[in-house]
């Protein structure tokens, strides 16, 4: 099985029972999954990997600093979109069947096809969404704010679950996102050779709106150093020297993230209450 480092601080690992996708909105323009798939796997067509449904090793709990077990956070289908139109419902059923065998692991299912997730969820989760399944939508700008409404509608139909909005890659100032009833908001700039700019005030505004609505926030990274507001203060002739200068002066606390992940002197890495609930359940299970 192909194992790709998530390179995403809020997840511990990725799991790709299906790969491949097609572009649907502006956030897809520089899709990293497509770039990786074309370079290493010869194409980005949707392919199902039923053999990955029996994976178990990568879902084992982690050990926290206190020696107790901590649930792993798994990003499902980082190399595609689980609700892509070419993935049949019966295969999605199989994915959730596999997830059901790991009740102490968090599976984060993120989509840009919010309408299909809503329709699927209304049919399949009449008795509620299991606590370890976190459902989310990517909403990279104002134009796709309706995906967040679809997520909320699913919550209203299926009952409570951890709802996640990923405002990444953040492509502009946000004024139409409503984070009411959303539990977790991720935000970050775009990474990669063709990454688009992300202004610090755009990030600050998402964080403030999310906090106002009571959501936990995880700021992933600036995406590229040019987005990092401390970059203009960095000293040195080369990019490497400037980066090391920021680290040495304590201006960048997480330099291994793309472009760093320090905002106004701190990291913003909060988890929603659903994580603590699952962690406590895991500890009670012994
Ligand atoms: S939905 Fe995600 S995986 Fe699919 S093309 Fe867009 S960015 Fe890439």
Pocket test for ligand 1, best of 27, 147, 196 (most atoms within 8 A of CB): 27
Beta strands 18-19 and 47-48 are antiparallel
Residue 38, both tokens: 């074309």
Give ∠ CA 196-199-202 in degrees, rounded to 5.
115
Residue closest by Cα to atom 7 of ligand 1: 28
Pocket test for ligand 1, best of 16, 80, 141 (most atoms within 8 A of CB): 80
pLDDT at 7: 53
Cβ of 140 less than 6 Å from ligand 1: no
Q: Which atom of ligand 1 is nearest to the CA of 22?
A: 5
Q: Distance of CA 155 to CAs 23, 48, 128, 140, 207, Å?
A: 26, 28, 9, 21, 22
CB atoms within 10 A of CB 286: 5
Q: Which atom of ligand 1 is nearest to the CA of 32?
A: 8
Q: Which atom of ligand 1 is nearest to the CA of 23?
A: 5
pLDDT at 1: 28
pLDDT at 96: 98
CA count, 13 A, side-chain hemisphere, 30 = 15
Q: Would you say 224 and 188 are in contact if contact means Cβ atoms under 8 Å apart?
A: no
Cβ of 80 less than 6 Å from ligand 1: yes
Strands (E), the chain: 13-15, 18-19, 47-48, 62-63, 69-70, 73-76, 106-111, 133-138, 163-167, 184-187, 216-219
Residue closest by Cα to atom 8 of ligand 1: 31
Residue closest by Cα to atom 6 of ligand 1: 28
* Domains detected in the chain: 13-224+265-284 (3.20.20)
Please, what's the b/e burial string for 171-182 (b: 16 or more CB within 10 A of its CB; e: otherwise)? beebeebebeeb
User: Rg of the chain over CA atoms, in angstroms?
Assistant: 19
pLDDT at 3: 33
Residue 260, both tokens: 């760093």
pLDDT at 8: 65
Any idea how long the chain is?
286
* Residue listed under structure tokens 């590229």: 224
Q: Which atom of ligand 1 is nearest to the CA of 44?
A: 5
Q: Can the peptide bond before residue 218 be classed as cis, meaning omega within 30 degrees of 0? A: no
Cβ of 87 less than 6 Å from ligand 1: no
Q: Provide the whole-model pTM.
A: 0.95
pLDDT along the chain (286 residues), means of 10: 51 97 98 95 96 95 93 98 98 98 97 98 97 98 98 97 98 98 98 96 98 98 96 95 96 93 97 97 89
Pocket test for ligand 1, best of 24, 30, 41, 75 (most atoms within 8 A of CB): 24
Q: Would you say 258 and 222 are in contact if contact means Cβ atoms under 8 Å apart?
A: yes
């Amino acid at each position: 099985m192909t194992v790709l480092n998530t390179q995403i601080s809020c997840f511990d690992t990725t799991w790709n029972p299906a790969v491949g996708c097609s572009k649907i909105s502006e956030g897809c323009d520089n899709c990293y999954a497509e770039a990786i798939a074309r370079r290493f796997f010869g194409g980005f067509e949707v392919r199902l990997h039923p053999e990955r449904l029996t994976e178990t090793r990568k879902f084992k709990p982690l050990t926290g600093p206190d020696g107790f077990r901590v649930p792993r956070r798994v990003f499902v289908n980082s190399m595609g979109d689980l609700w892509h139109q070419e993935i049949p419902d019966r295969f999605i059923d199989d994915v959730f069947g596999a997830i059901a065998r790991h009740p102490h692991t968090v599976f984060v299912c993120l989509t840009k096809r919010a309408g299909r997730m809503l329709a699927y969820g209304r049919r399949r989760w009449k008795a509620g969404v299991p606590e370890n399944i976190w459902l989310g939508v990517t909403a990279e700008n104002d134009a796709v704010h309706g995906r967040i409404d679809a997520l909320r509608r699913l919550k209203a139909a299926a009952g409570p679950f951890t709802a996640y909005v990923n405002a990444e890659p953040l492509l502009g100032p946000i004024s139409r996102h409503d984070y009411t009833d959303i539990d977790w908001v991720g935000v970050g700039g775009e990474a990669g050779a063709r990454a688009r700019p992300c202004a610090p005030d755009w990030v600050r505004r998402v964080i403030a709106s999310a906090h106002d609505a009571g959501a936990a926030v995880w700021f992933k990274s600036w995406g590229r150093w040019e987005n990092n507001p401390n970059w203009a203060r960095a000293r040195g002739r080369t990019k490497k020297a400037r980066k090391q200068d920021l680290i040495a002066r304590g201006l960048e606390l997480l330099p291994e993230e793309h472009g760093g992940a320090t905002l106004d002197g701190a990291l913003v890495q909060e988890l929603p209450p659903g994580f603590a609930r699952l962690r406590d359940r895991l500890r009670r299970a012994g």
